[in-house]
Amino acid sequence: MTESFIQFYTPARHRKYIDLGNGFSDVLSYCKNRGEVHWVEHHGLIWASTYKMINNMMELDKFNDVPLPEHTDIVYISALYTTHLYQAYVWAKQYPEIQFVVGGPVLRSNIFELRGRLPKNLILSTKTLEELFEIDEFSCKWELNIPDVDERVVFSYTIDTSCYWGKCIYCNFSMCKDRIRQNPQYEFKGIKEPKNIRINTSSTTPKQFKDIIPNLPVMDDTTYEFYMRFGNCELEALKSVDFGTNKFKLMSGIEFPSDRMLKYMNKGITTQEIYNMLEFLENHQSNVSITTFIILGWNELTAKDIMNLQTYMDKLPNNCHISMTRLYARPYTKIHNIYEPYQIQQIGPFYLGFIPKIDKDKLELSRIARRIVNQYDNVMDYTKGLL
Ligand SMILES: C[S@@+](CC[C@H](N)C(=O)[O-])C[C@H]1O[C@@H](n2cnc3c(N)ncnc32)[C@H](O)[C@@H]1O
Ligand code: SF4
């Protein structure tokens, strides 16, 4: 029985860097003894823009042209984005004689619902490869093969896949199967100048900040990325940590900066907590950059919320980056029950949820909010064409 392994990398932001995601890094040494491990360049967009691509069926046709690197009896695929899952589906239909087994974060996070038939030769697995091959979790040597590219790379060394808060009504991280790296060794030390290393994509806990930050290898030209809540307990943890000389990017979902909206979405923080964090980061940490996320497309906004947004924008430190997305209702989230669909999203048999319907006056408020944010520097606007 021959086996091969596929991981995808994504050229990002006009090929300024290459995102390797997670790949098989935790089991690479083990997999290499069983078969070849291949990188496949993939233009499946990051999840935030996935729905733009889905609207353009021409883009979906392109999946038919992605070559399968090796024809083995079984092909194991690590899927980070839903587009990787769809690629596996396309290959399974193209090669009925090959058995495809897909795992990875997309399968472990309840991000889609199966609403159609799968080809018989496609198995979706929520197990880690360690579980599938019946070896101990994290028992293999962490390794990363860097694909043959000129660009600098970004990759994840995830400590914790789930979210300790897990209550925000639009998010499905709480449904993500827990996988916590015990005793991290930060084995990426020898890798040549990665651009960024992503430590957590859900929410870093106060304890994790204290444990991880002082132990990260010193890498002069690399930025360590953390997703986090801008809450008081996180602030207290950061105050007690020596950031050393490393560079950090702290990313936080503000989503909508009014106390009413934060309460509605169950964020568990107040605008005052956000402002305390911003002030601390601005005054105390010259080696920290900040990215905050705003979600538009709520049916709840009021004119007062828009005024609160203006206050927030005025208070943001100059070098802060902002990313704007339109609210998306993924299956199994509370938002999915609250809102009606405006545009349902499905690729092949995989139902991905919908863009919610909102009232005309509320749509206008979101457009005003977008105009306000776009007046500032360093804005990534993923709502273009969606609001
Ligand atoms: C990977 S999440 C992690 C956020 C981080 N844990 C926090 O709470 O600050 C990053 C961002 O994706 C965006 N996001 C997540 N789910 C979304 C949804 N259903 N619709 C629109 N944006 C979403 C939010 O802006 C969120 O802050
Ligand atoms: S948005 Fe962040 S804090 Fe809220 S549940 Fe998701 S990962 Fe956790």
pLDDT in tens, 351-375: 999 999 999 999 999 999 999 999 9
Ligand 2: which of 110, 161, 163, 205 to mutate, most ligand atoms within 8 Å of CB? 163
Least confident of 27-41, 50-64, 200-214: 50-64
The number of distinct structural domains making up the chain is 2
96 CA to middle of ligand 2, Å?
Answer: 39
Ligand 2 pocket member 173 (CB < 6 A):
yes
248 with 322, same domain: the answer is: yes
Q: Identify the domain containing residue 262 by its residue range.
A: 157-381
Ligand 2 pocket member 203 (CB < 6 A):
yes
279 with 163, same domain: the answer is: yes
Q: What is the CA radius of gyration of the chain?
A: 21
pLDDT averaged over the chain? 91
Which of the 8 DSSP states describes residue 382? Answer: T
Task: State percent of the chain over pLDDT 90.
Answer: 71
Separation of CA 252 from chain center: 12
- Which residues of the chain form beta strands (DSSP E)? 3-12, 17-19, 35-41, 74-78, 99-103, 113-114, 122-124, 153-156, 196-200, 223-227, 247-255, 288-296, 321-326, 341-347, 350-356, 379-381
58: pLDDT confidence band, cut at 50, 70 and 90? low
187 has pLDDT over 70 = yes
110 with 7, same domain: the answer is: yes
**Within a 13 Å sphere around the CA of 247, how many CA atoms are in the beta-carbon half?**
12
161 with 91, same domain: the answer is: no
- On whether residue 148 sits in a domain, the answer given is no
- pTM exceeding 0.85: yes
Ligand 2 pocket member 112 (CB < 6 A):
no
Among residues 152, 167, 150, 243, the alpha carbon closest in space to that of 203 is found at: 167
